[in-house]
Structure 1
């Protein structure tokens, strides 16, 4: 069971992690916790790990936890959400976005145990559903000006937006489409595909070199020699992914 704690207060995240660690509800359960202080960091964790449960604060500095809750509905799978907040007047809205539970600060062990027990029961019941397994879609259809081309997703090396057009590159070809980077990110759900700039996404397994660039950023040289700039806000996560 993989649990993500999203709260802009480190002390609140720490307290919640401590109570989860002590919970009798998880006594015989293998679990791992992750922390995020904002929506962007939470999105990064969701790209790298299949999160089962999110404890989500509502007030995240200038952001709102409901923004992330709405985005989660668009995923191919939806982690369970437990709102963990100091505000008691958002409960109705929370359950309108299919939240599993609503826990108020200051946290109490008994209340966290109840929420975890409810989450565990829900997760354990999911495999019993008689829905047919969905086939994994390994192909990407790219709409060009005069035709559609189909490539294997694993063949994508990099994709960059320039002047409103998205260029998708493989080892030997480039395809220019009017589709957006958001459209591509929704298709490329494997952990190896990572956004490294507001206009770029790469296959981290195809990075050949990382070179210093202007303003303390980096320039990626891909295996097909395409060059991709790394945005400053993506530097830390990329460094962690590459062990730098």
Structure 2
């Protein structure tokens, strides 16, 4: 798994990063010293879990945690801090675990095992549906979803957004979501490009489902959709998004 450590203290970041790298579940460990640098890294990499300190100079780790909750597929959160008085509040923002300084290898391993258990449950859910399409034309107005020998036909105008994470493509409509191992490019080739817009390397949205474009952290933006979801606009897509929405 890919992990991001957010702490304003270099020694604490290095210590936790070292312990995380000793665990067999860890693929890569990145570091950030502030909310702004954390957001930059989240836009660059598909982070699976983020270890956040509560005290970040003039910032607060809960501020980042609350913003992460607005994402469609947020990374899992583990608080890694010297303060033991915020544990209850941490779980109010759906934190997986709460690890206290000074860090111990066994405690870090325990937190990663909890994260892994959640990932396994999500994987079972993601694999429960398979998407197949027999329509290759860009002009196709439907996407066919096949599961348990039954085919569900999704009209393109009902598709609110699509996102991909860890090789799983999720299509979201009002009240429904469907997962497949197809690529984002596969879906893009079947959508009407006049109605859909890629806003992140892993996210496509239906333009008709966008209600607001609002500033986010560190001079980036996020989109508010008509169903209440919020999705980030990565830096490389900001210009194209503004051009489409403000023309």
Same fold flag (TM > 0.5)? yes
Q: TM-score, normalised by structure 2?
A: 0.58
Matched, 1:185 2:218: no
Matches within 5 A, 1:153-168: 153-154=197-198
CA 1:54–1:30: 2 relative to 1, 3 Å:
closer
Q: Provide the secondary structure at the position in 1 that maps to 2:29.
A: strand
The corresponding residue for 1:3 is: 3
Q: CA deviation at 1:193?
A: 2.8
Q: CA deviation at 1:9?
A: 0.6
Work out the CA distance in 1 between the residues paired with 2:198 and 2:102.
Answer: 46
Work out the CA distance in 2 between the residues paired with 1:80 and 1:102.
Answer: 12
Matches within 5 A, 1:54-93: 54-93=50-89
Q: CA deviation at 1:182?
A: 3.0
Q: CA deviation at 1:125?
A: 1.9
Work out the CA distance in 2 between the residues paired with 1:83 and 1:10.
Answer: 17
Deviation per CA, 1:122-155: give whole Å up to 9, x if none: 11221112676425796xxxxxxxxxxx555259
Work out the CA distance in 1 between the residues paired with 2:120 and 2:58.
Answer: 35
Work out the CA distance in 2 between the residues paired with 1:84 and 1:2.
Answer: 16
Q: Provide the secondary structure at the position in 1 that maps to 2:222.
A: helix
Q: CA deviation at 1:120?
A: 1.2
Gaps in structure 2 of 5+ consecutive residues: 130-169, 173-183, 189-193, 200-210, 225-230, 241-247
The corresponding residue for 2:125 is: 129
CA 1:54–1:151: 2 relative to 1, 3 Å:
same
Gaps in structure 1 of 5+ consecutive residues: 139-149, 156-177, 195-200, 204-244
Q: CA deviation at 1:55?
A: 0.5
Higher Rg: 1
**RMSD over equivalenced CA pairs, Å:** 3.2
Q: CA deviation at 1:78?
A: 1.6
The corresponding residue for 2:93 is: 97
Work out the CA distance in 2 between the residues paired with 1:151 and 1:108.
Answer: 51
